[in-house]
Each structure stands twice: as C-alpha cells, then as structure tokens.
Amino acid sequence: MTQIQRAAFIQQRLEQLYPDPPIPLDHTDAFTLLVAVLLSAQCTDVRVNQITPALFALGRIPEKLSKVPVEKIEAIVRPCGLGPQKARAIRQLSEILVREHGGQVPADLDALEKLPGVGHKTAQVVMAQSFGVPSFPVDTHIHRLAQRWQLTTGKNVSQTEKDLKRLFPQSVWNKLHLQIIFYGREHCTARGCDGTVCDICSTCFPKRKRAVKTKKA
C-alpha cells in the first residue's frame, strides 16, 4: 500500500470500529473539559474522571474555582500527578478567564495557549470538542500509531500533527483523533502490538517482520 492508500484504509477501518467515539474525559462544558484535559497530562483519563467530581464540587465555573485556595485544589488533584503545578494552573487560569474573558473559555487557539498549564494539545482538544473547530490534537497514542503506520516521520508531535492533517480531510479530524486514541488503547497498545500484531498493522504491512521502534514525542 502507498501512504495515501494506508490512510484511506485506516480511516475506513476506524470508522467501522468507532462510528461515534465518545470524549473519554467527563465534562459538561468548555471549562470543565479544559480543566479535565489539563489534569490528564501524564495521567490516565480514568484517574482524571475519578478526581474531577470532587474538584467540580468546589466550583464548576471559573468564578468559583478562582476563589478556592490553591492548597485545597492541590489536595484533590494530587493523585493525578504534578499536583502543585496543576493546582496553581487551575486557580490562575480561572482568575484569567474571569478577569479577561468574562468567565468564559475563549474559542480562540492563541488565547487558550496563553492560559497557565494549557499547551497546544490541550487547546486543540477544547477547540475541537467544545467549539467544533477542525483540529488534530496529537497525544502519545496518536504519535506512536502514526509512526507504526508510516504516516509520519515521527520526529515530534508537531511534525506528526502536520503530516496527519495533510493526509486526512479536515472534515474528519475531530472525530479521527478520538478514533485513533481508542484504537491505540484497545488494539495497538504500546506493549500489545509492536507494529506487526494488530489488524491495521498486519493489513497495512503484511511483510513486516521486525518490531517497529517508535520515537517518543
């Protein structure tokens, strides 16, 4: 298969497996999604979903969380790892949203990336899932699979994002990034598949004999 053919097959197969992929982080609006994605850095979505109910009980809107002491936030989010940094970021971004954005999460990528603790991937997730803006957030699952499927040179997540946006139509970006995440967790895992085992890997590369060594993001 050529790269274009692989991309078409992968998109078709993922659509068969995950026709309506849910957002794995529990949330009710753009603000709760923003906080949940921030907490998910170096933490599993399952753990984040266990933590956020207690956090949002303190406040589900920036106006309320901006008044909660950092120490109280940290006590709740500590199990997610990087507790002090994440707690400060949540408090600070809540204050900024109230002071500069009327308590609303801005539907603007640049504005989101300026918020404490919000990187490019986090901002893109919010743009895609809360505001429907075509985006292709690249996490470790997507980066790893894109390399295994030879859809990117895989030097870093920025390059992976550019390559995937080039290969797939913009209309499927928001859905496809979720589909790849679910496939990476369920079928083409870091330990369960080395680039030769799962359905997509074995179909796209039937003659592949050696394990694929992926470069970390």
Break the chain into its structural domains and give their ranges: 3-21+136-204, 30-131
Q: Per-residue pLDDT tens for 75-128?
A: 999 999 999 999 999 999 999 999 999 999 999 999 999 999 999 999 999 999
**3-21+136-204 to CATH, choices 1.10.1670.10, 3.40.50.150, 1.10.287.110, 3.55.40.20:** 1.10.1670.10
**Sequence-distant (≥ 6) Cβ neighbours of residue 204 within 8 angstroms:** 1, 6, 9, 10, 149, 150
pLDDT of residue 174: 97
C-alpha dist (Å) from residue 120 to 14, 27, 31, 111, 159:
25, 20, 16, 11, 13
- Nearest residue to 89 (alpha-carbon basis) of 66, 108, 121: 66
Residue 121 pLDDT: 95
pLDDT score for 92: 98
Query: How much is the pTM?
Result: 0.93
Given CA atoms 95, 24, 168, 131 in this order, what sign does their dihedral have? negative
Instruction: List the structure tokens of 152.
Output: 């990117």
Mean pLDDT by 10-residue block, N- to C-terminus, for the chain (217 residues)?
Answer: 96 98 97 98 96 97 98 98 97 98 98 97 97 94 93 90 97 97 94 94 95 80
At the top level of CATH, the class of 30-131 is mainly alpha
- The active-site residue, picked from 64, 114, 139, 165, is 139
- Residues 196, 35 contacting (CB under 8 angstroms): no
pLDDT of residue 217: 64
Catalytic status, residue 139: yes
